[in-house]
Structure 1
Amino acid sequence: MDPRAQDVLLCDLCETDPLQYLCEHCDINLCTNCVSKHLSDSSKKHKIAPYHLHRKFTPKFSKCLKHADKDCELYCESCHIPVCSTCISSGKHKGHDISDILEKLGSKKQRIEKDLEELEKKIYPRYTEISSAVQTEKAEAQTNYGKLATTADQQGEVWHREVTDIVNKRKADIVETKTKHLSLLDKQADEITHRMTEINQAILEMKNILDTNDISLTSTYKSRNNEFNKLPPTIKVTLPSLSTPTINTEKLNEMFGLLTSLSVTTVKPLLAEPRLTAAIDTGYEYLHSVSCLSEDQVWTCGDNKTMKLLNLQSKLLTSIKTKSGNTPIDIAVTQDGYLVYTDSWNNTVNLIKNKKIQTVIRLQGWRPRNVCCTTGNDLLVTMTSDDLKQSKVVRYSGSTETQSIQFDDQGRPLYSSGGIKYLSENRNLDICVADWDASAVVVVNQSGKLRFRYTGHPSNTEQSFYPYGITTDSQSHILTADRYNHRIHILDQDGQFLRYIHCDLERPVGLCVDIKDNLFVAEWGTVKVKKIQYL
């Protein structure tokens, strides 16, 4: 029998169940079931609180392994073990940081209580939501696959005996696809259930530590909350469909319709709290832009003519000066890994390949501002007229202009007349522009038709919104730098606000994401590039 079971305190009312609560006014200990019974006495005032917040602390010191007659009343911070006074006086821990074991126990218990609260109130409920969503999706999948089967039956009745073999074949395809789909969902549900079980076990272990005051258990406690905070990715499945063409007996198999394949996309949830994972010192006086070459290498440009390639340890890997000696306005990295920069002073867009600079675009009457590279390896360039009265976005394939976006369907300008206009192409091929002077993110579709304008969080009426840098990720999120409010806005592909990223940012300007959706933020004044994990 576990000797700790002898220490279980029972409810003062039923005297059978372990106590969980305390009525502070009545000074009576209660189990969960007896709380409502006690509160039913309305003749008295009651205040119910968790018992563990009020119980008296009676320390149970562990015996020293070296000196059996001594209690371990101290803690060696250097060795991370409880020790007795004789151990200290023996000189074995000379020069080590020594603290009182009760102080150490107190800080450990505070961490456990914090972790426990986070697990119970934040992490576990989110797993519950995900689990519920998976079960709902499974039910919807069952319904939809049933509808597909019914459609196949109805077509089979119309086509009679000539199409019987095809009907059976299609139904078999449906069953096979359904099996794959449900197998994917079952696998995800099993993974979530397993993780929930682990969390429940961790909760029970922490509660046990808190209830027993066992110093040995407490001192060896290691938090797993960071592990549990990494929520499992969900999968997004595009359901197959069955087409119903007109009957043609000469082409029965082709015209009956084919079942589309199962399309599975991994959906990455947003982290509850974004994490800063690296900070790169760039060495500029002021920093303007950042563009990812890889997960650990970024190109930067600032207030001088030199563009720098840096790693996460702030080591300078390569530096290149502009062809004209002017300060570049913006930079971008092509799909092939080459650097592109805009030079507003001589109206050019330039490509750097093998450290050689080639002018690929030379403008007349217009000044290039910001630039991005598309998934199709085109260049999108924002530009303003020489008189600063017009702005537009132009697409280039190589040096050839293939598209110009300037007005909406009513002939009104889409963008403000001048100023900074960082831009990015979304995964759905929308073109997203952070229009500083208009205090708006302006999003048009691939053909240049206006989809929406985002002018800041609807509930925020006190702080001005001036979007600066902008980027998009694999989930088609739109991220834009709110420079003077020191934060990043995350929107979905339809312009709905999802959340802010703060991470102690200071005047964020340029943004980019790498292939793993890590966010890189260029800070104007600190001249640091911060790497942030938010998915």
Structure 2
Amino acid sequence: MKTTQKSPEAGSSPSVKQLVDEPETVTTIDTGYENLYEVACLSDEEIWTSGDDNTVKLFSINQGSLLKSIKTKSGNMPWDIAVTTSGDLVYTDNSDRTVNIVKNEEIEEVIRLQNWIPRGICSTSSGDLLVIMISDDKQTKVVRYSGSIEKQTNQFDDKGKLLYSSSRYNTYYITENRNLDICVSDEGPKAVVVVNQAGKLRFRYTGNTPAPRNKRFYPGGITTDSQSHILTADIDNDCVHVIDQDGQFLRYIDCGLSEPHGLCIDTNDNLFVAQNGNKQVKKVKYLQ
């Protein structure tokens, strides 16, 4: 891990919360997927999920019951899902190169790419969408969209080197931190790559030793909380890494997780983990 510059604080400071000594599982939700990959918080009561079929499912957190199941427009598996600031679900379709939004159970195509394949997606505090995508000739970039309008592209560092790995077979996930940094989980170099709002590289985080299973860091889903912590699933070590906004390791969340993939945080800083190992979403309390 190499830190290149300090991060400014964004806006008013949130109330200070401390990491608990032992993260606690609050509840688990069975999803019914053959393989479970993603989770996105709609509210403190409801979560969206997706897996290896062509449906996105909405669950009640408290009851654990299925509230809604919607098939993708193309019939393809959604690659990644997110919830916008207005409460709509968005998902990337890796196979037909589109970004889609679900409004009142109707699906609208927002972005259709040529020569690029969308992977990870997130909604920002300003209402923009950030999409990480790969090209047919093996390049990778992050693009900021307002609706379907492209506003910004991050692809290279100050020395002209690619910020992100370049393989059509790698997985990438993305989130925005409270200080407006853009955080990408990049499977290729097994790293979290963080740039500031302008796209300038701040640091790369490549894991911490010792790891719970003594395996190499294998980053999956990524999210942030009210304290500007960055949380990244570590699929091979069955845990979640918590680092601060400047890339310093703080702790593992290692509470019986099973192949964690997707992550999201609700407004009360509860962590939701999509576990492919047992096809369950686990709600975890780790801050107080």
TM-score range, shorter-chain basis? over 0.9
CA contact (8 A) 1:285 1:525 kept: no
Match of 2:117 in 1: 367
Counterpart amino acid of 1:489? H
How many angstroms apart in 2 are the aligned matches of 1:267 and 1:470?
21
How many angstroms apart in 2 are the aligned matches of 1:413 and 1:429?
21
2:29 aligned with 1:280, yes or no? yes
RMSD, aligned α-carbons? 1.4
How many angstroms apart in 2 are the aligned matches of 1:264 and 1:337?
24
How many angstroms apart in 2 are the aligned matches of 1:326 and 1:482?
26
How many angstroms apart in 2 are the aligned matches of 1:493 and 1:459?
21
Gapped runs of 5+ residues in structure 1? 1-237, 239-262
2:106 aligned with 1:356, yes or no? yes
Match of 2:231 in 1: 479
CA contact (8 A) 1:300 1:309 kept: yes
Q: Choose from 310, 330, 336 the match for 2:80.
A: 330
Residue 281 to residue 407, structure 1, CA distance change in 2 (3 Å): same
2:261 aligned with 1:509, yes or no? yes
Match of 1:377 in 2: 127
The Cα shift of 1:458 comes to 5.0
Q: Choose from 470, 486, 496 the match for 2:248.
A: 496
Match of 1:199 in 2: none
Match of 2:49 in 1: 300
Q: Choose from 430, 435, 439 the match for 2:190.
A: 439
The Cα shift of 1:295 comes to 1.1
**Alignment deviations for residues 115-168 of structure 1 (CA, whole Å, 9 cap, x no partner):** xxxxxxxxxxxxxxxxxxxxxxxxxxxxxxxxxxxxxxxxxxxxxxxxxxxxxx
**Alignment deviations for residues 64-104 of structure 1 (CA, whole Å, 9 cap, x no partner):** xxxxxxxxxxxxxxxxxxxxxxxxxxxxxxxxxxxxxxxxx
Match of 2:92 in 1: 342
Match of 2:201 in 1: 450
How many angstroms apart in 1 are the aligned matches of 2:28 and 2:60?
10
Q: Secondary structure at the match of 2:252?
A: strand
Match of 2:175 in 1: 424
Residue 431 to residue 264, structure 1, CA distance change in 2 (3 Å): closer
Q: Which has the higher contact order (CA 8 A, sep 6+)?
A: 2
CA contact (8 A) 1:310 1:317 kept: yes
Question: Bigger radius of gyration, 1 or 2?
Answer: 1
Q: Secondary structure at the match of 1:423?
A: strand
How many angstroms apart in 2 are the aligned matches of 1:265 and 1:303?
37
Counterpart amino acid of 1:291? A
Q: Secondary structure at the match of 2:22?
A: coil
Match of 2:3 in 1: none
Q: Choose from 273, 278, 290 the match for 2:39.
A: 290
Match of 1:528 in 2: 280
How many angstroms apart in 2 are the aligned matches of 1:386 and 1:310?
36
Q: Choose from 126, 150, 155 the match for 1:401.
A: 150
The Cα shift of 1:265 comes to 3.9
How many angstroms apart in 1 are the aligned matches of 2:263 and 2:270?
11
2:18 aligned with 1:269, yes or no? yes
How many angstroms apart in 1 are the aligned matches of 2:228 and 2:121?
19
CA contact (8 A) 1:275 1:533 kept: yes
How many angstroms apart in 2 are the aligned matches of 1:264 and 1:358?
37
**Alignment deviations for residues 10-43 of structure 1 (CA, whole Å, 9 cap, x no partner):** xxxxxxxxxxxxxxxxxxxxxxxxxxxxxxxxxx
How many angstroms apart in 1 are the aligned matches of 2:267 and 2:129?
19
The Cα shift of 1:515 comes to 0.6
CA contact (8 A) 1:437 1:466 kept: no
The Cα shift of 1:335 comes to 0.6
Match of 1:466 in 2: 218
Q: Secondary structure at the match of 2:236?
A: helix
CA contact (8 A) 1:372 1:425 kept: yes
Counterpart amino acid of 2:215? Q
Name segments (4+ residues, structure 1) moved above 3 Å: 458-462
Which one has the bigger strand percentage? 2
Instruction: Indicate the percent of aligned positions where both proteins have the same amino acid.
Output: 61
The Cα shift of 1:437 comes to 1.2
The Cα shift of 1:470 comes to 0.4
Residue 360 to residue 439, structure 1, CA distance change in 2 (3 Å): same
Gapped runs of 5+ residues in structure 2? 1-8
Aligned residues: 273
Which one has the bigger helix percentage? 1
Q: TM-score normalised to the size of structure 2? A: 0.92
Q: Choose from 152, 161, 164 the match for 1:415.
A: 164
Match of 1:112 in 2: none
1:205-244 correspondence to structure 2 within 5 Å: none
The Cα shift of 1:305 comes to 0.4
**Alignment deviations for residues 397-435 of structure 1 (CA, whole Å, 9 cap, x no partner):** 010000111110000000011211111000000000010
Residue 265 to residue 473, structure 1, CA distance change in 2 (3 Å): closer
Counterpart amino acid of 1:375? S
How many angstroms apart in 2 are the aligned matches of 1:458 and 1:390?
31
Q: Secondary structure at the match of 2:15?
A: strand
The Cα shift of 1:525 comes to 2.4
How many angstroms apart in 2 are the aligned matches of 1:278 and 1:458?
29
**Alignment deviations for residues 471-513 of structure 1 (CA, whole Å, 9 cap, x no partner):** 0001000000010100000000000000000110010000000
Q: Secondary structure at the match of 2:92?
A: strand
CA contact (8 A) 1:487 1:508 kept: yes
How many angstroms apart in 1 are the aligned matches of 2:259 and 2:112?
32
How many angstroms apart in 1 are the aligned matches of 2:14 and 2:87?
26
How many angstroms apart in 1 are the aligned matches of 2:276 and 2:80?
13
How many angstroms apart in 1 are the aligned matches of 2:183 and 2:13?
26
